[in-house]
Structure 1
Amino acid sequence: MTRQLTAALLCASALASPALAQEELAVVGTWSNLPLYQDFETGFWNDEIAGMTGDEFTAQLTSFDQMGIAGADVYRMLGDGVFDVGATVADYTVGDAPELEGLDVPLLAETAEDARRMVDAAKPMVADIMQERFNAQMLGIAPYPPQVVFCKGEISGLADLEGKKVRGSGRMTTKFLEALGAEGINVAFSEVPGALERSVIDCAVTGAGSGYSAGWWEVSDHLMTLPLGGWDPVVIAMNADRWAGLSAEQQEALQSAVSEGLEAPAWEAASGGLENDIACLTGSGECASGEAASMTLVEASDDDTATATEILTSEVLPDWASRAGEDWVARWNDSVGAEMGITVE
C-alpha cells in the first residue's frame, strides 16, 4: 500500500506541475475610481489573463491610489522590482523622463482614431524610454478620454481662462495655460473637487469621462471640450528583469494578451466615448453611464483653435524640445510629427 500511495502522489504531483509553474503577477493599475481601471484593467487582470495566456499567468491587482503611492512613483517602484507590472499616466512621470511628454501633445488629436495614430507612431520611442529610464518592458498603451476644461464660473471661450487659476493635466498643458495668461496650479486629481469648491482653483483639466466619474460636475458648471490636455495615455509596463526571466513563449503570450484583452478594448471604447461623456455632463443627449448633470457646454471657436495652435507650435513644443534633447526630438519628428504633420524646430 505504501508503494501504491507513493506512486499515486508522484503521479498527482506530475499532473499538477503545469499549474504550479503558472506565473502569478503582482500588478499595480491606475486610479481605482475611474473607468479605465473599473471597466478594463479589473476584468482583464482578475478574470481574463489566465484564459488569454493558456493558463500561463494569473494576477493580483491593486491600484496605485489603493496602495497609497503617487502616480509619479509607479515606474520608479516598478523598475526597482517592488511589483511586476505597473500602469500610470505617462504625464505623471515626466519629471524623471521629460522625453515621455512627447507621447501626449495637446491639441493634435481631436478623435480617438487620431490619438491612436499618435500613440502607435510613438510606441518604439516609448519602449526605449521605458527601458532606459525605468528598467521596464512596455506591454501596451491605453487611453483616458480627451482632456477637457471644467470651470466653476462662466466662460465663453479660450480667452476667458486668462487670469484664472487652472489645474493642468500635465506639464505641456500647464505651459499652454500659462501662455494664455492663466496661472497653472499643481493639484492632485483626487483633490480637485475640494479645490474647486473652496475656490483654490477656478478651472481644472481632465478627461471628460474621468471628471464625470469623479463628480467634478458637482463643483463646476462650464465645460470646454477643446482637448487642451491631450488624451493622457497610460503606459502598461513590466519590470525588465522579471520580463527577462520569462520564456519567449510566455513573453509572446503576455504581450499578445495585454494588446488584445486590455489595450484594444480601451481604444475601442474611446471611439465615440466623448459624445457620451458630454451628454452625461451636460444633459444634452442620452447618458449611458448614469445620471446626467447640467453643465453648460462651451465649444471652441475658430479663433480659439487658431490661438491654441499658435501657442502649441511657438511656445509649448519648443519648451519641451529644450528639456527632451535633440536626439529625442529628432525621433519624435520622424515618428509622431511625421504622422500628424507637424515638426518641432
Structure 2
Amino acid sequence: MKKTLMTALLGTCVATTSVMAEDIVSLRVIGQPLATGLIQKNIEQPFFETLQETTGLPIEVNYKPLDTTGIKDVEELRVLKSGMFDLVSLRMSQVSRDEPTILGLDLVGLNPDYDAGREVAERFSGVVDARLQERFNTKLLGVWPFGPQVLFCDHPIGSLEDVQGLKVRVYDQNLAQFVESVGGTPVPLGFGDVHQSLALGTVDCAITGPSSANSAGWPEVTTHVLPLGFQMALNGYGINLDTWNEFTSDQQATLQAAFDELVDEIWAYSEELYEDALRCNVGEACETGTQFDLVEVPVSENDLALLRNGMRDISYPTWAEVCNKTNPQCSEDWLNALGEAVGME
C-alpha cells in the first residue's frame, strides 16, 4: 500500500514539474512606432512574430507598435517596471528622462559613425544594464542604432552655423543644448508631430535619420539636408526581470542569443538603409525609399570641429552634471568605460 502511494506521489511530482517547465510565458511586447519606418517593419516586427518558432521557447508573443498602444515613449521604463508590458523596444533618448545614465550611450558628437557607435554600445551597455536592473526591474537585452541623425531644413543653409536664429526640432536635452550653443532655438517635438510642424513653419529645421525622414515624408516639407551625424539614435530592448526569471537558465541563454543575432542584423541593416536613404533624399538612384530632390549641403571641417568640441565642452559636462545628481557614479563609470576611447581620460 505504502509503495503504491509513494509511486503515485512521485508520479504526480514528476508530472507537475514537467508541466511547470513547459508553462507558456506570455510576452506582451511594445515595438518601435510604425512611423519610424523600415527597421520596425522589415526586421523588428517579423522577429517578434516568429520568435516562438525560431527559438522553440514556450512563449506566446503579443507584439504591438508603440503608436498603436496609446503609451508615450517617455513612459516606456515605467511601463516595464510596472509589469504592464513584459518587453519593450526602448527609445533610449526619450526614456533617458527617467534614467539619465542611458544618455551616456549617445551624447551629441560621441557617435559620428557606425564604428564609433558600436564601440560605445559595447563598452557602456553593461553600465546601463546594471542601472536599469537596479531602478526599473529591467534587463537590457541589446543596443542598436537607427543611424546617424542629420539636419533637415525648410530654409537655405550652407553649414551648421547657419542654424543661428532658426527653430530646430530636437528629441532630447543633450541635443537641445548643443543646438542652442550654435545659435539655434531648440524645440522638443515627438517624431509624429514633426512633418506638420515643418509644413506649418512651427519649426524651420529638424533632426532625425535619413531613412526615418524619408519614410515620414520630411523631404516633402524641407529643402536642404546637412548629413552631419549628431547622434547615432541608439535604442535597445529591455525585458521585465520578473518575466526574465520565469525562464530557466538554458531558456534565458536561448532568448539572449536570439536578441544578440537580432541586434547584429539591425546594425548591418541600419547602415544599408542610411546610405540608401541619403541617396533617395537628394534624388539619386536608390532602392528602399522615395526619391526627393533635397539640396545636400557638404559637411565641412568646421562643422566636424564644432561637433567634436561640442561633445567635450557641452554635451559631456552638461550631461554629467545632471546624471551625477541621481547616480553619483555616473560620470566616473562613463570615463572608466569610454574615456580612453574618446580621448577624455
Fold similarity call, TM over 0.5: yes
Deviations 1:11-56 (A, max 9, x none): xx99x96996332311111111322211111110002x12332233
Matching residue of 2:334: 332
Provide the rounded CA distance (Å) in 1 between the counterparts of 2:21 and 2:216.
Answer: 40
Q: CA deviation at 1:342?
A: 3.2
Distance 2:309 2:44 in 1: 37
Task: Please name the residue that 2:78 is paired with.
Answer: 76
SS state of the match for residue 329, structure 2?
A: helix
After the TM superposition, which residues 1-345 of structure 1 pair with which residues of structure 2 at under 5 Å, given as runs? Answer: 21-33=23-35, 34-47=37-50, 49-228=51-230, 230-260=231-261, 262-284=262-284, 286-325=285-324, 326-343=328-345
Secondary structure, counterpart of 1:314 in structure 2:
helix
Distance across 2 between alignment mates of 1:319 and 1:181: 17
Aligned partner of residue 108 in structure 2, secondary structure: coil
- Paired letter, 2:303: D
Shift of 1:272: 4.0
| 8 A contact 1:112–1:270 mirrored in 2 | no
Root mean square deviation, CA, Å = 1.9
Tell me if the contact between 1:45 and 1:58 (Cα under 8 Å) persists in the aligned partners.
no
CA distance in 2, matches of 1:235, 1:57: 21
Where does structure 2 lack aligned partners over 5 or more consecutive residues? Answer: 1-14
Letter in 2 for 1:133: R
Residue 125 to residue 195, structure 1, CA distance change in 2 (3 Å) = same
Which amino acid in 2 is paired with 1:164? L
Alpha carbons 1:145, 1:210 under 8 Å: kept: no
Change (3 A) 1:142 1:342: same
Partner of 2:3: none
> What TM-score do the two structures reach when normalised by structure 2?
0.90
1:339 aligned counterpart, secondary structure = coil
Tell me which amino acid in the other structure corresponds to 1:202: D
Quick one: distance in 2 between partners of 1:177 and 1:118?
23
Distance 2:114 2:309 in 1: 23
Letter in 2 for 1:35: L
Is the CA contact (8 Å cut-off) linking 2:108 and 2:174 kept in structure 1?
A: yes
Displacement of 1:226 in angstroms is 0.7
Overall identity of the aligned pairs, in %: 28
CA distance, structure 2, for counterparts of residue 145 and residue 67 of structure 1:
25
Q: Matches of 2:166 and 2:102 in 1, distance apart?
A: 28
Deviation of 1:213 after TM superposition, in Å, equals 0.8
Assess if the C-alpha contact under 8 Å between 2:31 and 2:88 holds in 1: yes
- Output the TM-score relative to the length of structure 1: 0.90
Q: Give 1:186 shift.
A: 1.2
State the shift of 1:119 in Å: 0.6
User: Aligned pair in 2 of structure 1 residues 293, 19: CA closer, same or farther (>3 Å)?
Assistant: farther
Contact 1:141 / 1:235 at 8 angstroms: preserved in 2? yes
- Distance across 1 between alignment mates of 2:305 and 2:315: 14
Contact 2:214 2:289 in 1 (8 A): no
Letter of the structure 1 residue corresponding to residue 157 of structure 2:
I
**Which deviates more from structure 2 when the two are superposed, residues 290-299 or residues 155-164?**
290-299
**1:129, 1:222 → 2: CA distance?**
40
Residue identity in the other structure for 1:57: I
Q: Detail structure 1 runs of 4+ shifted over 4 Å in the superposition.
A: 16-20
Letter in 1 for 2:218: W
Partner SS for 1:340: coil
CA distance in 2, matches of 1:241, 1:101: 25
Q: Contact 1:148–1:225 (CA<8 Å) still a contact in 2? A: yes
Report the Cα distance in structure 2 between the residues aligned to 1:19 and 1:198, rounded to whole angstroms: 57
For 2:320, the aligned partner's letter is A
What displacement does 1:183 show?
0.7
Deviation at 1:189, TM superposition (A): 0.6
Cα distance between partner residues in 2 of 1:223 and 1:166: 13
Letter of the 2:56 counterpart? G
Does structure 2 retain, via aligned residues, the 8 Å contact 1:107–1:226?
Answer: no
Contact 1:147 1:169 in 2 (8 A): no
Q: CA deviation at 1:110?
A: 2.8
